[in-house]
Every structure is written in C-alpha cells, then in structure tokens.
C-alpha cells in the first residue's frame, strides 16, 4: 500500500495498524497525519513505549501519559485511583485520537492496561473507550520485553487486537534504502529464507576497509561500551577541546525529560576530526536524525562546528531546539543545543529510527531474533556496511511474526480495495462524521491549509450537523421508516457508511426499532447457515483480522444469489 492510500484510510477516522518494512516512511506518515489533524483544530495524543521512540515523533511515553510509573499491569483498584487524579481527568477528557508508535515493543499486558484505563475514563465498553486508535510499528523489529512467561508475546496475539477492528495499512514503498541488494537482503530476512547470493554479499563486506576520511559508526548493545569507546577516541585526537553547553529554560523536571527522551546532551565535547552524528531532522539544512559526519573545523564567526557529511557536503551545525509542551500546547521547557553526538559508537537501541550512511556491525554475539534485521536496516546501502561477525541467530526472525506477516499483507490489500471505492468527497465526509460523532468541534474558518473553495463547500456540507451527530441524523431517518437506498440518497452516503451507522445504532441503542429494514426470513436463514458453514471449515482467507466473516465469502457460499445489500442487512439481525 502506498502512503497516499494509507493517509486516506487515516482521514476516514478508522482504527489503523500502520506497518511495513524499515524505511517505508511510517513515522513520516504519522507526522503528516498529525499535522493534518492539528490544521483542523484536533490535537491527537502521540505516545511510544520508550523515551527515544517518543522523541522521534515529539510524543510522550505510554507510562508517563497514563501515570503508570513502572507498572504494566493494573487492577481495578489502581484504575479507580487513576480516575480520581485531576490531571488525568483533564488529559483524557479531551482524548479523541490516540497514536502509538513502535508498537512492536509493547507487551500484551501494557496493551490491555491502556484499554482498561480508557474504557473506565470514557465510561464506554468499546475497545479503548471508543477513541480512534492508530498503531504504528513493525513486528520484525526488536520484540517486547514481557515480565510474564505466557503464550502471548506480541499484542497482535491478544483477543483485544481483534476486537479493536484495526484497518491494516502495510506500506511497501521504500524511501530509506537506495540499494537494491540491501532491499533484497532485508526482504529475504523478513521471508525467513536468506539466499546463498545474499550470504555472499555479507562475506564481501566482512571487515571491509573504508577510506580513512571517515570513522564509521559502530553499533553495540550496551551503553557502557559506547561511552568508553567514544571517550577514548576523543582523547586520542590532538587539538583543542571545544565544549558546547546547552541553554535550558523551564522546570528541572521537564528539562530532564527532554534529555531522557532524546539524544541531545547537556554538554557536548568536540575536537576537529571527531566522528559525529546529527540527532535531529532538518531537511532544509540537509541533515536528518542519523546523518553521519566528521568535524573538519569550527566556524570562525559563530564558533559552531562545521561537519563534513558522508557525501562530502559541509554543514554548519547551529543550535536546534527541543521542547516539552503540556496538554494545552503551552511550552513547559526548552533546550537549545548543537544537534550532534559523538558517533564512533552507538547502541543498537538508540540507533532504531535512524538512517546511517555507514556502520560497523558485529552480529557474532546476536542472542535475540530480529536484532540482525534491526541493525542492518539502519544503513542506506550495502556499500556502507563493515560486517565484523555473523552468527546463526543474526538473520533469524520470529516464526510467529513471519506467519502473521502474510495475513496482514492480505488484509492490507483488501482494505485498499474497500477505500478506493469512495470518492474524495466521501472520504472527507467520513472524516468529519467521525470527529463529530466523537463530540469534537471544528472551526472551519481556522483551517489553515484548505483553499477558500473547500472552506465554503465544507461550511455548506456540515453546518446542519454541528449540533447533532451523523448517527443521530441517520437515526431520525430510520424513525421515518426510510429504506436503505432512501437514506443513502438523502444523506449522500455510500452503502457501507450507512450500514456502519446501523451497526453503531444497534450497539448504542439496543431497543431501537428498525425492523422495516429486516430482510425476509428465508434470506436471514440462508445467511445464518452460510456463516455457520464458513466458521466450521476454518479457512483463514474467509475471515478478517477482527475475526468477522468476510462478506465475499458469504456471497460466494450462497452461490451469488443473495445481494451484498441483503447480506449486510441480514447480518444486522443475526446474533
């Protein structure tokens, strides 16, 4: 699936799992969606399981946002305690869209805890309290560290995953890697079968020498090794030591949070010849989080370090800003610092999310499946790899993840077939319907990036539903005994959207009567029998990721003699 298609599904207000191999732009797309929402005066909550991951999307950690401390599992008593906390009441009362990045690192226990807390705060039995849930990540990356030895290792193995009704968006366009050989190798690792041709490529990169012009980054597993190597290499250089202290504003607690959740340092020591890496994105100046370089001089006017990057281009590394904002968007702390870090060595953990021009990687001590894939996917091309060692575990992936990957790819293709049937106007309508259903408010006059024509059209389209949700409008038409086609025509909605409304009305108002839409008993009996037969044969292609039977499977089972419309309506009356 292309990013543009995934963006359309996100705009439609669906619960989404955004995935894809390394370098397909998952974080880029999330940031684009966040900007889209903010331009419409909707502020999503953006979270990640670790501080480093959260810093990549300017978010918070899950534990910090929900006030969990170090807990991953909570009982009803602790949830009741959280409900009494005013800061959480304020924070969660405004929550309508929850975005979580790097979800492969979330253990099942924490996933269920998020759901439990949101249901309680929102007073709703719906998964995650009915908020739009956008999950992003790649389960081929480093797995979660779970405190319990249970069969469930990943969140997709939980029943909660299925009940969340996530639309799968599997991105397949690669932007990070510009080397077809590396792309082939990474795809082979993901398929669970690395060819002899790829192994020969690895052998050709064993202890490969690079030009003395560059000291390439070495990836290690422990911070102690990284600090020791960087300090030793810096001491070895001749010349004056330049020290850059950060300029900080705000409370100590919030300043410390910036340093803890990003790669910026309060004190940066540099010398000419030092290997460095940029730790922030600045596309206009020509660097991203992970651009490798070497200090060639210090600017004689500003004193700022001048970095020669891998391409040979020289960049003056001037101060950048890191900020912490509260729920209302007010800045609580600011750190200004040169966006560099010593880069003779980095941990694999801290390199996740980075794009490295070159790296020295030792996979001879790999102990966890997926580690080799994560390390290799950091670099842009095979030409930037010096391989120091390789063991049998390094190129292995989790068998359960491998099997699940094929299923979610199929689901992603089916979601694309569904969304492309809608016109651009219908997609925009679906998004506004969703926000209004959640009780959001939209000030169309303040939408910054829309053209005047769209503003005018949007005002006319949505002025009638500002005080009542789209579901309530459909409900009124049902009271008038309108047929499905009449509602579609009067509302200007697609059949799928109206049927979705009927499902929501049935759940929200169990006693509401729309029996006039009920198909004949013969049709309901036929659909019921078809669903039972499909469930008995247990063919995974007949089911969606949430466990529901596919409409096409029912249609085929009935010999294409019952229309899709009648099947959809019949399912509303089947327990």
Q: Are 132 and 15 in contact (CB under 8 A)?
A: yes
Distance, CA of 489 to CA of 493 (rounded, Å): 7
Beta strands in 94-241 (DSSP E): 97-100, 132-136, 167-171, 217-220
**Those residues with Cβ within 8 angstroms of residue 374's Cβ, 6 or more apart along the chain or in another chain:** 22, 141, 142, 348, 352
The domain limits of the chain are 3-176, 180-390, 424-517, 521-572
**What are the DSSP calls for 338-356, one per residue?**
-SEEE-SEEEHHHHTT--B
Q: Give the tokens for residue 425.
A: 């106007």
Question: How would you classify the pairing of strands 45-48 and 97-100?
Answer: parallel
pLDDT of residue 52: 63
Q: What's the pTM value of the predicted model, to 2 decimals?
A: 0.59
Tally of CB atoms within 10 A around 245: 11
**C-alpha 504 chain-centroid distance:** 26
Whether 135 contacts 166, CB under 8 Å? yes
pLDDT value of position 179: 76
d(CA 100, CA 121): 18
Contacts of 512 (CB under 8 A, 6+ apart): 475, 478, 505, 506
Amino acid 546: pLDDT: 53
Whole-number pLDDT of residue 27: 84
CA distances (Å), origin 562, targets 188, 303, 367, 482: 43, 76, 55, 22
- Rounded Cα distance between 299 and 315, Å, is 10
Rounded to the nearest 10°, the torsion over CA 307, 309, 312, 314 is -30
**Tokens encoding 226:** 């990284």
**What is the three-state SS of 85-126?**
CHHHHHHHHCCCEEEECCHHHCCHHHHHHHHHHHHHHHCCCC
DSSP characters for 426-468? Answer: HHHHHHHHHHHHTT----GGG-TTS-HHHHHHHHHHHGGGSSS
Place of tokens 């509260």: 326
Residue 389 is predicted with a pLDDT of 84
Mean pLDDT, consecutive 10-residue stretches, the chain (575 aa), reads 86 89 84 89 87 70 82 89 88 91 91 95 92 93 66 89 92 74 89 90 84 66 80 93 94 84 88 90 76 89 90 90 69 91 82 76 79 85 86 86 88 66 52 44 37 47 52 86 84 73 80 85 90 83 68 84 83 77
Q: Per CATH, which fold does 3-176 belong to?
A: Rossmann fold (3.40.50)
């Amino acid at each position: 699936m292309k990013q543009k298609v995934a963006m359309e599904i996100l705009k439609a207000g669906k619960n989404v799992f955004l995935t894809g191999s390394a370098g397909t732009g998952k974080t880029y797309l999330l940031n684009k969606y966040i900007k889209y929402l903010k331009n419409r005066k909707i502020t999503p909550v953006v979270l990640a399981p670790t501080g480093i991951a959260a810093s990549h999307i300017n978010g918070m950690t899950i534990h910090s946002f929900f006030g969990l401390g170090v807990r991953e599992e909570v009982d009803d008593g602790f949830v009741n305690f959280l409900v009494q906390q005013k800061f959480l009441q304020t924070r969660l009362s405004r929550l309508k869209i929850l975005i979580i990045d790097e979800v492969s690192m979330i253990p099942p226990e924490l996933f269920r805890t998020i759901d439990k807390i949101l249901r309680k705060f929102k007073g709703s039995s719906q998964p995650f309290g009915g908020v739009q849930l956008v999950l992003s990540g790649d389960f081929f990356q480093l797995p979660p560290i779970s405190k319990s030895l249970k069969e469930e290792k990943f969140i997709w193995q939980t029943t909660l995953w299925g009940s969340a009704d996530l639309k799968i968006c599997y991105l397949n366009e690669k932007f990070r890697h510009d080397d077809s050989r590396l792309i082939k190798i990474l795809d082979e690792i993901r398929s669970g079968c690395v060819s002899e041709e790829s192994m020969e490529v690895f052998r050709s990169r064993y202890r490969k020498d690079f030009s003395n012009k560059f000291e390439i980054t070495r990836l290690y597993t422990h911070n102690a090794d990284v600090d020791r190597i960087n300090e030793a290499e810096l001491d070895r250089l001749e010349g004056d030591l330049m020290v850059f202290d950060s300029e900080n504003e705000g409370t100590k607690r919030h300043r410390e949070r910036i340093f803890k959740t990003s790669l910026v340092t309060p004190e940066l020591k540099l010398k000419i010849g030092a290997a460095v890496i940029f730790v922030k994105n600045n596309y206009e100046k020509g660097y991203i989080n992970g651009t490798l370089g070497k200090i060639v001089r210090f600017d004689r006017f500003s004193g700022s370090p001048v970095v020669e990057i891998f391409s040979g281009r020289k960049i003056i590394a001037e101060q950048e800003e890191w900020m912490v904002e509260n729920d209302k968007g007010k800045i609580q702390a600011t750190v200004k610092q040169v966006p560099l870090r010593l880069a003779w060595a980095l941990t694999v953990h801290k390199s996740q999310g980075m794009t490295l021009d070159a790296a020295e990687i030792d996979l001879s001590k790999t102990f966890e499946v997926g580690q080799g894939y994560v390390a290799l996917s950091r670099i842009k091309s095979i030409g930037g790899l010096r391989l120091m060692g390789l063991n049998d575990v390094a190129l292995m992936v989790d068998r359960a993840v491998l099997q699940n990957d094929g299923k979610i790819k199929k689901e992603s293709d089916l979601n694309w077939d569904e969304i492309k049937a809608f016109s651009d106007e219908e997609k925009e309508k679906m998004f506004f319907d969703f926000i209004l259903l959640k009780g959001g408010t939209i000030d169309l006059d303040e939408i910054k990036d829309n053209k005047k024509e769209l503003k005018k059209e949007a005002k006319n389209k949505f002025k009638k539903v500002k005080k009542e949700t789209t579901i309530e409008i459909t409900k009124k038409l049902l009271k008038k005994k309108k047929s499905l086609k009449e509602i579609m025509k009067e509302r200007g909605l697609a059949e799928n959207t109206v049927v979705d409304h009927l499902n929501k009305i049935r759940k929200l108002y169990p006693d509401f009567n729309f029996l006039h839409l009920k198909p004949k008993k013969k049709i309901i009996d036929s659909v019921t029998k078809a669903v039972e037969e499909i469930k008995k044969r247990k063919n995974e292609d007949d089911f969606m990721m949430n466990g529901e039977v596919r409409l096409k499977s029912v249609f085929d089972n009935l010999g294409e003699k019952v229309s899709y419309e009648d099947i959809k309506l019949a399912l509303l009356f089947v327990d």
